[in-house]
Amino acid sequence: AARLNPLDLYDVRSLLSDEERMVQDTVGRFVDEKVLPIIGDCFDQGRFPKELIPEIANLGLLGATIPEKYGCAGMNGVSYGLICQELERGDSGLRSFASVQSSLCMYPIYAYGSEEQKMHYLPKMAAGEVIGCFGLTEPHGGSDPANMKTNAKKDGGDWVINGAKMWITNGNIAQIAIVWAQTEDGIQGFIVPTDTKGFTAQEVHKKMSLRASVTSALFFDNVRVPEANRLPNVKGLKGPLGCLTQARYGITWGPIGAAQACLKEVLDYTQERVLFGRPLASNQAIQLKMADMARRITSAQLLSLQLGRLKDAGKMEPTQVSLAKWNNCRMAIDIARECRDILGGAGITVEHSAIRHALNLESVITYEGTETVHQLVVGRELTGINAF
């Protein structure tokens, strides 16, 4: 009988539709041909491969679930998940770029914006001509966004924004920022063109994680935008949290790709590496580790697929997203670290991908709600007691 696919032991792929498989194959090919050959160097040099944006856009990967009316691909949630999985098999930084553009910038315009805002921004964002960033986190503490200090005050027909945001993906390459600010009426969202007077973005350097991604601090010094730039259809923390649910859903899929990349690498490496007169793969201690990786990847695949089916049926709950974000990030970071170990000294350079994925996943397990935040969301669901 044919051997099982070590990266998909339960043939989860057979549960996908033809269209979903096609999306996965298309993105997979792009990652194999265009991303893997350059990404180690990008990480080493601390460079986001901006030159890939046009092709990512051409493949329909930006705002992929938004209807075609707005220049987007109109795919389902499972296809979006597969996009995230394949991109992150390349690098978490590339998946971050797509998550932020799709779920954190295009989604709020689509879900909370006026028809004029949607027609104006979404087609250009799908085409990769307008890049967005999402400013929620502030320097004094990201886990508790309700306590934000950035504020927007009404002044005639305009809004004047003051404050600062921290750790903002795409900050220095964005043409627009989706900025969440405190107003007299609670938290509201604004579309801020990054060439507006008083707006500055300052890139964060010396990162040891997500090096192939742009991360920035944003500063707002009397930044003035017209009322037409306010997202009219949401008020309160549920605005940004609703975007986070979309992005976190995609992030449950992404780390599966990172873990698959790492497992594939050590499966190959341990066949070739001969120590004590036999391939490394023939040692029980090594097989146990790799079997355990396959077990954890398989569980994560089934979790994300069912989450995606719930999402496409309109039944996905934020607590379910929290559980999967927690589980799948933990799964992947543990696997990446073990793979780094199995590679020995060879595991410490970017010639192999394990250390790059392991370091990237330090960000992935922290952003979009830390592991602890997601554990406490699940705890609150189980007990009815808010322990934050």
Contact call for residue 372 and ligand FAD (CB under 6 A): yes
**Between residues 76 and 103, which has the closer beta carbon with respect to ligand FAD?**
103
Distance, in Å, from the CA atom of 353 to the CA atom of 258, rounded to the nearest integer, reads 9
Question: Running DSSP on this structure, what letter comes out for residue 387?
Answer: -
**Between residues 38 and 241, which has the closer beta carbon with respect to ligand TGC?**
241
Contact call for residue 322 and ligand FAD (CB under 6 A): no
- The site partner of 155 among ligand TGC, ligand FAD, none (C-beta below 5 to 8 Å per kind) is none
Of 163-171, 230-238, 278-286, 321-329, which segment contacts ligand FAD by CB under 6 A? 163-171
Q: Which of 122, 210, 339, 343 binds ligand FAD (CB under 6 A)?
A: 210
Closest distance of CB 57 from ligand TGC, Å: 17
- The site partner of 135 among ligand TGC, ligand FAD, none (C-beta below 5 to 8 Å per kind) is ligand FAD
C-alpha distance from residue 162 to each of 105, 147, 179, 218, 237 (Å): 20, 15, 11, 11, 18
Closest Cα partner for 191 from 249, 114, 99?
114
Catalytic residue among 20, 88, 338, 368: 368
Name 133's bridge partners: 177
b/e per residue 301-315 (b: at least 16 CB within 10 A): bebbbebbebbbeee
Distance, in Å, from the CA atom of 142 to the CA atom of 166, rounded to the nearest integer, reads 8
**Between residues 38 and 241, which has the closer beta carbon with respect to ligand FAD?**
241
Closest Cα partner for 259 from 285, 287, 283, 295?
295
Closest distance of CB 208 from ligand FAD, Å: 11
Q: Name the 3-class secondary structure at 218.
A: strand
Distance, in Å, from the CA atom of 28 to the CA atom of 252, rounded to the nearest integer, reads 18
Tokens of 348: 């410490």
Closest distance of CB 168 from ligand TGC, Å: 8
**Are 255 and 137 in contact, with CB atoms under 8 Å apart?**
no
Q: Which of 169, 172, 194, 246 binds ligand FAD (CB under 6 A)?
A: 169
- The site partner of 20 among ligand FAD, ligand TGC, none (C-beta below 5 to 8 Å per kind) is none
Name 248's bridge partners: none
Active site residue 368: yes
Q: Name the 3-class secondary structure at 381.
A: helix
**Between residues 270 and 366, which has the closer beta carbon with respect to ligand TGC?**
366
Please classify residue 385 by burial: count the beta carbons closer than 10 Å to its beta carbon, then call 0-12 exposed, 13-18 middle and 19+ buried.
Answer: exposed
**Between residues 77 and 142, which has the closer beta carbon with respect to ligand TGC?**
142
**Between residues 16 and 237, which has the closer beta carbon with respect to ligand TGC?**
237
Distance, in Å, from the CA atom of 194 to the CA atom of 263, rounded to the nearest integer, reads 41
Residues binding ligand FAD: number (CB under 6 A): 21
Distance, in Å, from the CA atom of 2 to the CA atom of 11, rounded to the nearest integer, reads 13
Tokens of 130: 């307008």
Closest distance of CB 95 from ligand FAD, Å: 12
Q: Which of 100, 173, 333, 335 binds ligand FAD (CB under 6 A)?
A: 100
Contact call for residue 137 and ligand FAD (CB under 6 A): yes
Closest distance of CB 8 from ligand TGC, Å: 24
Of 141-149, 155-163, 220-228, 264-272, which segment contacts ligand FAD by CB under 6 A? 141-149
Instruction: Outline where 100-237 has alpha helix (H).
Output: 107-112, 115-126
Q: Which residue has the tokens 């400013």?
A: 135
- The site partner of 366 among ligand FAD, ligand TGC, none (C-beta below 5 to 8 Å per kind) is ligand FAD
- The site partner of 338 among ligand TGC, ligand FAD, none (C-beta below 5 to 8 Å per kind) is none
Contact call for residue 202 and ligand FAD (CB under 6 A): no
Q: Sign of the C-alpha dihedral, residues 140, 244, 240, 65?
A: positive
**Are 105 and 98 in contact, with CB atoms under 8 Å apart?**
no
Contact call for residue 370 and ligand FAD (CB under 6 A): yes
Question: Running DSSP on this structure, what letter comes out for residue 157?
Answer: T
Contact call for residue 102 and ligand FAD (CB under 6 A): no
Contact call for residue 117 and ligand FAD (CB under 6 A): no
**Between residues 68 and 317, which has the closer beta carbon with respect to ligand TGC?**
317
Footprint on this chain of ligand FAD (rule: CB under 6 A): 100, 134-137, 141-143, 167-169, 210, 215, 363, 366-368, 370, 372-373, 388
Which residues are known to be catalytic? 368
